[in-house]
A and B are shown apart, each in its own frame.
Chain A
Amino acid sequence: MNADWTLLGPVLVQALGETLWAVSITMVLGGIFGFVIGTMLYTTRRGNILANAAVYNVLNVLINIVRPIPFIVFIAFIQPVTLGLIGTSIGVPAIIVPMTIAASFAIGRIVEQNLVTIDPGVIEAARAMGASPLRIISTILVPEALGPLILGYTFIFVGVVDMSALAGLIGGGGLGNFAILYGYQRFNYGVTLVAVVVIIVIVQLGQFLGNWLARKALRR
């Protein structure tokens, strides 16, 4: 069955807009919160600059609780929070809440893992020069791990695009919803294929940009 693209075209554009909107906001907010979580996790480790067993253990357990929950279940699980935060639990803004929370914890873990690879000697050198913990975070941790941090962030971006496909479940629209509603449920494989291609292009562009930035940061 041939699809009528004069009708479907604008719907696809709108779906693309919804996906990009949800993904962008999630990446920005998740990036900020994830960075804070990851940095706290790293710096509160035993022997590190802000060593604090209580904070470390709480964060660590929290991440391990949130991360294994399948996203489709997580949307439902977090629904009261979503409702409380933005006053609704349907639509694009409502999908951004679970997406941001899930992305924050995932990014937090990625940030921690990349910071761990920094040579502790460099941090000790900065301490010996009289640098404060905040200064060490901003002028040592981030610049020294920038390349891997960008690559990790890019890796999460793909996961976030994946999450956004479930937005349709709560009326959030997006490309995933478009593929299911206009392609799969109407037995129109061509439409599904178009949606898939658009998603692939988004992911490829994101990955390309991430690789390029990481290469610049790593000077190789």
Chain B
Amino acid sequence: MSVMVEFEAVSKSFTVGKRQVDAVEQVSLSIEKGEIFGIIGYSGAGKSTLVRLINGLERATSGRILVDGEDITTLPESRLRHVRGGIGMIFQQFNLLRSRTVAGNVEYPLRIAKWPKEKRKARVAELLDFVGLGDRARSYPEQLSGGQKQRVGIARALATEPKILLADESTSALDPETTQEVLRLLQRVNRELGITVVVITHEMDVIRSIADRVAVLEGGRLIELGTVFDVFSNPQAAATKSFVSTVLRNQPTADDLVRLRRAHPGRVVTAEILDAGRLGSVLSDAVGKYGVRFEIIFGGISALQNRSYGSITLELVGDEGSVDALVKDLQAVAAITEVPA
């Protein structure tokens, strides 16, 4: 795979009053052609600034940004406008033009790109069909639901056949059902049209649903980067762990542990499950082999990028030596963490 967007030690600072705010600090990362790249962070983490550096809506203070091989950090505004035609963008609040119809909104970027009228008409019809709004061409944005507005936004962003689509919190104003509908559409954009998609969000669920790789941003810095599976199954930074816990609730929290401890006085361990584990067979042997009983007291297994992932918390009851032996057996098939008594 080749690189579509490359950040090389990019920083961006603003002066607010007399204070200097470092929105993005020394970020280096590359976004591959054809992938869905997620950027997650709390509000104020600098993710909106980061995405705007890709199409030059914000100019980097230092560092280099290469878009499809072209260094855009040194381009003058007039040249940058041309580059932007190759990068679509959608927004949290959709940002549709109220004075234009659905078709007028989708046509707008084509006018800027100076497409002839006949081609514009055909392209608009094709795009509205793609997003499933062929029958709403003459409607005005205020007559549409949130999900429909975002689909118009997507059609508009795709009009000039961009190589990259930037989605800035594109589902944050939508209900869960509509969110899934828009995410499925973004996935189609990626798979059917081969467009590289950069998704900015504070919702880990969005990342889990569609992203291939994810970057975690905190205080303007890149704190974690990897495939969604790796980051979810083995989060390193505290912020990442907290994001992961918002969607995967199979790890007991401190409160859960207190409650579990009260009800389960035996030895408690948590086993990580990755792909096809053999935890179950080891446990079922345990009764006959060591005379140890077990109870499943917390956890769950979910799918992530078509792989199984999760964790199960167990209470093991039996004499100390037998339980020790069983834990050893378990360690051979899964990562085990002890829950202190």
B-contacting residues of A (Cβ < 8 Å)? 119, 121-122, 124-132, 135, 139-140, 143-144, 146, 219
Contacts and interface: CB of A to CB of B under 8 A. Distances in A.
Interface string B102-113: 000000110111
A129 B95 CA distance: 12
Given A128-B55, A128-B87, A130-B113, 19 more contacts: A119-B93, A124-B91, A125-B89, A125-B91, A125-B95, A127-B57, A128-B57, A128-B89, A129-B89, A129-B108, A129-B109, A129-B160, A130-B82, A130-B109, A130-B112, A131-B81, A143-B100, A144-B98, A144-B99
B64 interface: no
B98 A131 contact: no
Contact of B93 (A121, A129, A131, A144): A121
Interface string B51-91: 00001010000000000000000000010011111010101
B112 A129 contact: yes
A140 B57 contact: no
Contacts of A144: 97-99
B84 A130 contact: yes
Contacts of B111: 139
14 contacts: A119-B95, A121-B93, A121-B95, A124-B57, A124-B91, A128-B87, A128-B166, A129-B89, A130-B85, A131-B112, A132-B81, A139-B108, A143-B100, A144-B98
Q: Which of B55, B98, B111, B140 has the most CB of A within 10 A?
A: B98
Contacts of B85: 129-130
B97 A122 contact: yes
Contacts of B140: 219
Q: Which of B99, B111, B160 has the most CB of A within 10 A?
A: B99
Nearest to B105: A125
A7 B96 CA distance: 61
Contacts of A143: 97, 99-100
Contacts of B96: 122, 125
A124 B168 CA distance: 12
Contacts, number: 57
Q: Which of A126, A127, A135, A140 has the most CB of B within 10 A?
A: A127
Contacts of A132: 78, 81
Contacts of B87: 128
A16 B87 CA distance: 58
A124 B94 CA distance: 11
B153 to A, nearest CB: 8
A126 to B, nearest CB: 8
Nearest to B111: A139
B108 A146 contact: no
A124 B109 CA distance: 13
Q: Which of A130, A131, A143 has the most CB of B within 10 A?
A: A130
A124 B108 CA distance: 14
A146 to B, nearest CB: 7
A43 B96 CA distance: 20
B72 to A, nearest CB: 13
Nearest to A135: B112
List 6 A-B pairs, minimum CB-CB distance, nearest first. A143-B99, A125-B95, A130-B84, A121-B95, A129-B109, A128-B89
Contacts of B99: 143-144, 146
Given A130-B112, A131-B112, A124 B95 contact: yes
A2 B96 CA distance: 63
A217 B96 CA distance: 17
B156 to A, nearest CB: 8
A119 B83 CA distance: 24
B248 to A, nearest CB: 33
A116 to B, nearest CB: 16
A127 B97 contact: no
Q: Which of A128, A132, A135 has the most CB of B within 10 A?
A: A128
